[in-house]
Amino acid sequence: MNYFLCVAREENITKAAEKLHITQPTLSRQLAQLEEEMGVMLFTRGTRKISLTYEGSLLRRRAEEILELVHKAEKEVSHQNEVIEGTIAIGCGDLYAVQVLAGIIHAFTAIYPHVDFELYTASSDHIKERIEKGLSDIGLLLEPVDLSKYDFIRISKKEKWVALVPAASPLADKETLTPEDFLGVPMILPYRLNMQSELANWFGDLYPQLHVLFKSNLNSNAAVMVQQGLACALAIEGSLSFWNQNLVKCIGLSPQLSATTAMAWKREQPLSLAVSKFIEFSKDYLHSKTAV
DSSP element (H, E) containing 258: strand 258-266
Residue 55 has pLDDT above 50, yes or no: yes
Averaged over 169-185, what is the pLDDT? 95
Instruction: Calculate what percentage of the chain has a pLDDT beyond 70.
Output: 94
**Residue 217: which pLDDT band, with cuts at 50, 70 and 90?**
confident
**Residue 240: which pLDDT band, with cuts at 50, 70 and 90?**
low
**147-168 per-position pLDDT tens digit:** 999 999 999 889 999 999 999 9
Nearest Cα to Cα of residue 259 among 207, 195, 192, 188: 195
The answer to whether 85 and 114 are in contact (CB under 8 A) is: yes
DSSP element (H, E) containing 55: helix 54-78
**Residue 218: which pLDDT band, with cuts at 50, 70 and 90?**
confident
Distance between CA atoms of residues 128 and 122, nearest Å: 10
Q: Looking at residue 219, what is its pLDDT?
A: 80
For residue 192, give every residue at least 6 positions away whose Cβ sits within 8 Å of its Cβ, in sequence order, or none: 123, 124, 125, 217
Give the angle subtended at the CA of 192 by the CAs of 188 and 195, to the nearest 5°.
80
- For residue 135, the 8-state DSSP code is S
Residue 79 has pLDDT above 60, yes or no: no
- For residue 169, the 8-state DSSP code is S
pTM of the model: 0.68
Average pLDDT of the chain is 88
Residue 94 has pLDDT above 90, yes or no: no
**109-128 per-position pLDDT tens digit:** 998 999 999 999 888 899 99
Q: Looking at residue 204, what is its pLDDT?
A: 96
